[in-house]
Amino acid sequence: MNHRIAILGASGYTGAELIRLVATHPRFSIVALSGERKAGMSISSVFPHLRHLPAPPIYRIDEVDFSEVDLCFCALPHKTSQQIVAHLPKSVRVVDLSADFRLRNADEYQKWYGVPHSAAALQETAVYGLTEFYRDQISTASLVAGTGCNSAAAQFALRPLLAAKAINFNEIIIDLKCGVSGAGRALQEHLLHSELSEGYFPYAVGGTHRHLGELDQEFSQVAGEPITVQFTPHLLPVNRGVLATAYVRGDARTIHEVLSTAYAEEPFLSVLPFGEMPSTHHVRGSNFVHIGVAGDRVSGRSIVVAVLDNLVKGSSGQALQNANVMLGESETEGLLAAPLFP
């Protein structure tokens, strides 16, 4: 029997990606789509590129019959998501794509998001959705919290190095470049084509980006001691793609070896030959991650670069990967399509 899937927030980019990916899954059936602003519209009106798919129309959330749903993807805005998820029937398993359940600690949530969490008990039960590192817990979880796209890239570059103590914990700098679609479909002046194209700039400089909450939580847990990294994102005039350039102190060959070993069996994670560097071109539209390692001319310092597609491996593809794990499907089902280049 097919798994019955609902997608809440289907009119945003991550919602559209979920529909695109889930539609290719042989044992998943989309039974409900919701989107407040576009309720009543067909998916072919909201996303004409999906017009060939047999998707249900878009409803308001309160019109969805959750008794017919096995698993629900929540692609809702931060703060909204926690309110919706808290009121779903217990029988519905949830993969949440917002930031609402990534942090295990309620105080940390308030620190980074500026408001108290309205479903703190639920927050504690959520499993962090970086599949490759939380598979067992995800398989039995009721609620999985999708990671930030930027923090996913940084973690793929660095988690095994922290676990293996292959790098100095006090000098980690992550210079991050990200594409536009990560900011979603909201109407903001700085996201207009005229404002963005043909230029680029840093933002949230100095350690204020909210994805740092996740990095602090995860890196500290892996390292066994508090880790505080530097992290500077830059917005690029490209729709998809996150590239994290990590500057670390550690031996480059050792780093390459640690990462290669850690990811040897991972279907989506490729560590490139030593010294080769990845490009966001080569993962665009796919669930793959490419990682490059090189030594610097400054002795003892190394560079690790990871790339992924923020809408796939950074959110909707990761979400489907987690759903596969939760529902006992092959983890790669629906996720092996090659990147689109050029």
Please give the residues from 171 up to 230 whose contact with a copy of itself meets the rule CB under 8 A: 171, 173, 175, 177, 180-181, 185, 187-189, 191-203, 205-208, 212, 228-230
Q: How near is the Cβ of 61 to a copy of itself at its closest, in Å?
A: 21
Whether the ω angle into residue 342 lies within 30 degrees of 0, i.e. cis, is yes
Residues 6+ apart with CB under 8 A from 19: 7, 10, 30, 33, 43, 47, 50, 53, 55
Q: How near is the Cβ of 56 to a copy of itself at its closest, in Å?
A: 16
Contacts (CB under 8 A) with a copy of itself, residues 90-109: none
Q: Is 74 a catalytic residue?
A: no
**Nearest to a copy of itself of 250, 285 (CB atom):** 285
**Nearest to a copy of itself of 77, 202 (CB atom):** 202
Contacts (CB under 8 A) with a copy of itself, residues 289-318: 290, 292, 294-298, 301, 303, 305, 307
Structure tokens at 183: 């900011």
Applying CB under 8 A, the site for a copy of itself has a residue count of 85
Q: How near is the Cβ of 142 to a copy of itself at its closest, in Å?
A: 30
**Nearest to a copy of itself of 11, 155 (CB atom):** 11
Q: How near is the Cβ of 45 to a copy of itself at its closest, in Å?
A: 10
Structure tokens at 253: 């060959």
Long-range contacts of 252-255 (CB under 8 A, 24+ apart): 252/293, 252/294, 252/295, 252/296, 252/302, 252/303, 253/295, 254/166, 255/161, 255/166, 255/167, 255/293, 255/302, 255/304
Give CA–CA dist 318/116, Å, rounded: 27
Backbone angles phi, psi at 306, to 5 degrees: -125, 140
**Closest by alpha carbon to 313, among 341, 290, 293, 342?**
290
DSSP 3-state of 48 = helix
143 lines the binding site for a copy of itself (CB under 8 A): no
Backbone angles phi, psi at 76, to 5 degrees: -100, 165
Going 84 to 88 to 94 to 100, the CA torsion angle's sign is positive
Q: Which of 72, 74, 149, 178 is catalytic?
A: 149
Contacts (CB under 8 A) with a copy of itself, residues 244-283: 245, 247, 270, 275, 277-283
Binder of a copy of itself out of 41, 120, 223, 337 (CB under 8 A): 337
Contacts (CB under 8 A) with a copy of itself, residues 15-34: 16, 20, 23-24
Binder of a copy of itself out of 288, 315, 329, 333 (CB under 8 A): 288
By annotation, the residues acting in catalysis are: 149
